[in-house]
């Protein structure tokens, strides 16, 4: 077998998962692997950044699953602080710029793995990062925030713009660091893309319980700076004092470089791939992670769901195929989980708004229950909401808001959504029971019963 070279753009979850899988299947004598990473780290947990900043995780290095040196020992040439600036598909080469030493390198590839990730949505008024305005996407971003918080005088007031996963998690992190925090969200409730308004109201209560001021329906007009530091966030209702501003407005796929090279980009802004994670219509070019769009299994529509779970799975699939094997990534159903202090928030499938957009007719059922038998010490309350198709009863989505042992119940519901179960079938699920772990009727089963009643009533 002739010697080949795999070039990887992006050294985090998707890119390095692909590299590791390809290396397992093709030895060093057959496959040379070169990975370009513009940051200082490889293979780290971006999801853990808020917990490191908030002090729940003590050390930055605890978030790093595999260092550059560990990858190099495995035969992967990792080139840190190198940003790929050009892709020539005809010549089969990439151009990378050394961000520290200057100069460019051109590298030929037989296979190209595009895993450039995503970048925080940053309005024009928030581009002055040196003033204390931060997105939260990479470990380098987290390090910059830590450095800013350690400045003298220490920041005392934080404004978080955006009430999604990152915004809520960073608001809690700032509280843990002793800052006064205001959370701005343009929708009626925090986590509006994750949960229906009634469930979002429960999340808001928990956020406010931390002492965080929550302003919904809030617009931002700009940011005032003075002497190289942020001083206030300007809103129609007045200026909010701030010593640090954190952006939680979502992310966009880093697909511009790929699009410039002529690679296909979809409606979501992510690269289009086939089931094997090969970029559509281009042999030897693969993509995975936050820079791609994927298929939502319920709606059939393209979706951009930037989560580390998908990035690792997609990278693994690409690496297997690069190495001569066969694997596919079928799509996503939107399962996710987070926490606000001791409140856990989870969802899978579609929210009511998403079900409306997809054209489903549906019913909903919401129940309150406990995580354990009511008489057993430590039992905590939770609320579960199910969304089921009106005629068939097929489970379309689920949301959970509750305390200890609540959120991971979403996994059972995700399996039901994935396998197109109807809620009546779910009432007979053989779920485990013992007083320390669940009531005799698990909250999932109670919700399924109530949803079944709603389906029958709609016929």
* CATH number assigned to the domain comprising residue 345: 3.50.50.60
Instruction: Looking at the structure, tell me whether residues 388 and 242 fall in a common domain.
Output: no
Active site residue 291: no
pLDDT at 1: 65
Instruction: Looking at the structure, tell me whether residues 173 and 245 fall in a common domain.
Output: yes
pLDDT at 15: 98
Instruction: Looking at the structure, tell me whether residues 138 and 235 fall in a common domain.
Output: yes
The answer as to whether 327 is a domain residue is no
Detail the DSSP E strand segments found in 167-300: 180-185, 213-216, 222-226, 229-235, 238-241, 244-247, 251-253, 285-287, 294-295
Query: Any idea which residue has 């990534």 for tokens?
Result: 329
Among 262, 293, 322, give the residue marking a domain's end.
322
- Return the percent helix, strand and coil in the chain, to nearest 5: 30, 30, 40
The parts of the chain modelled with pLDDT lower than 50 are: none
The answer as to whether 426 is a domain residue is yes
Instruction: Looking at the structure, tell me whether residues 23 and 93 fall in a common domain.
Output: yes
The answer as to whether 281 is a domain residue is yes
Domain tally, the chain: 3
Instruction: Looking at the structure, tell me whether residues 351 and 437 fall in a common domain.
Output: yes
Instruction: Looking at the structure, tell me whether residues 207 and 168 fall in a common domain.
Output: yes
Instruction: Looking at the structure, tell me whether residues 344 and 437 fall in a common domain.
Output: yes
Instruction: Looking at the structure, tell me whether residues 128 and 244 fall in a common domain.
Output: yes
Closest-CA residue to 318 (of 79, 29, 111, 116):
111
Instruction: Looking at the structure, tell me whether residues 385 and 308 fall in a common domain.
Output: no
Instruction: Looking at the structure, tell me whether residues 34 and 50 fall in a common domain.
Output: yes
Among 229, 249, 269, give the residue marking a domain's end.
249
The answer as to whether 329 is a domain residue is no
Helices vs strands, H then E, count in the chain = 12, 25
pLDDT at 127: 84
The answer as to whether 424 is a domain residue is yes
pLDDT at 204: 94
Longest dimension (CA), the chain: 70
Q: How far apart are CA 234 and CA 245, in angstroms?
A: 12
pLDDT at 334: 95
The answer as to whether 331 is a domain residue is no
Pick the catalytic residue: 47, 65, 341, 446?
Answer: 47
The answer as to whether 436 is a domain residue is yes
Range of the domain at 147: 122-249
pLDDT at 101: 87
HEC secondary structure over 287-307: ECCCCECEEECCCCCEECCCC
Among 214, 249, 284, give the residue marking a domain's end.
249
pLDDT at 228: 84
Q: Please answer whether residues 192 and 347 qualify as being in contact, where contact means their C-beta atoms are separated by less than 8 angstroms.
A: no
Query: Any idea which residue has 């949301």 for tokens?
Result: 399
The answer as to whether 328 is a domain residue is no
Instruction: Looking at the structure, tell me whether residues 190 and 284 fall in a common domain.
Output: no
pLDDT at 382: 95
Instruction: Looking at the structure, tell me whether residues 150 and 179 fall in a common domain.
Output: yes
């Amino acid at each position: 077998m002739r010697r080949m070279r795999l070039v990887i753009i992006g050294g985090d979850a998707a890119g390095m998962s692909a590299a590791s899988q390809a290396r397992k299947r093709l030895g060093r004598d057959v496959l040379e692997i070169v990975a370009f990473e513009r940051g200082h780290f490889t293979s780290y947990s971006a999801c853990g950044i808020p917990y490191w900043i908030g002090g729940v995780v003590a050390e930055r290095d605890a978030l790093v699953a595999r260092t550059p040196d560990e990858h190099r020992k495995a035969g992967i040439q990792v080139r840190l602080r190198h940003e790929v600036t050009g892709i020539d598909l005809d010549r089969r080469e990439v151009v990378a710029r050394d961000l520290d030493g200057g100069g460019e390198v051109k590298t030929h590839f037989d296979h190209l793995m595009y895993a450039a990730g995503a970048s925080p949505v940053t309005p024009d008024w928030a581009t002055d990062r040196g003033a204390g305005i931060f997105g939260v996407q990479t470990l380098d971003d987290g390090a910059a925030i830590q450095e800013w918080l350690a400045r003298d005088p220490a920041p005392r007031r934080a404004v978080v713009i955006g009430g999604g996963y990152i915004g809520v998690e960073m608001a809690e992190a700032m509280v843990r660091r002793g800052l006064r925090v205001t959370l701005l969200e343009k929708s009626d409730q925090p986590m509006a893309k994750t949960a229906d308004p009634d469930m979002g109201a429960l999340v808001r209560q928990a956020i406010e319980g931390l002492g965080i001021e929550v302003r919904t329906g809030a617009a931002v007009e700009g940011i005032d700076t003075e002497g190289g530091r942020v001083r206030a966030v300007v809103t129609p209702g007045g200026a909010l004092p701030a010593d640090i501003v954190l952006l939680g407005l979502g992310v966009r796929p880093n697909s511009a470089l790929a699009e410039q090279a002529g690679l296909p980009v979809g409606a979501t802004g992510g690269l289009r791939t086939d089931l094997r994670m090969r970029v559509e219509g281009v042999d030897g070019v693969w993509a995975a992670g936050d820079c791609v769009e994927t298929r939502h299994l319920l709606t059939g529509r393209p979706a951009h769901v930037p989560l580390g779970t998908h990035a690792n799975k997609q990278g693994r699939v690409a690496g297997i195929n690069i190495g001569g094997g066969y694997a596919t990534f079928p799509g996503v159903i939107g399962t996710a989980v987070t926490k606000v202090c001791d409140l856990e928030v989870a969802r899978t499938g579609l929210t009511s708004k998403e079900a409306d957009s997809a054209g489903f007719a549906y019913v909903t059922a919401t129940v309150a229950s406990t995580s354990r038998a009511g008489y057993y010490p430590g039992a905590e309350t939770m609320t579960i909401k199910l969304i089921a198709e009106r005629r068939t009863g097929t489970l379309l989505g689920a949301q959970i808001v509750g305390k200890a042992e609540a959120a991971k119940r979403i996994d059972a519901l995700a399996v039901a959504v994935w396998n197109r179960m109807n809620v009546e079938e779910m009432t007979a699920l053989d779920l485990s029971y013992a007083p320390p772990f669940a009531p005799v009727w698990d909250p999932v089963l109670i919700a399924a019963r109530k949803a079944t009643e709603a389906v029958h009533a709609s016929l």
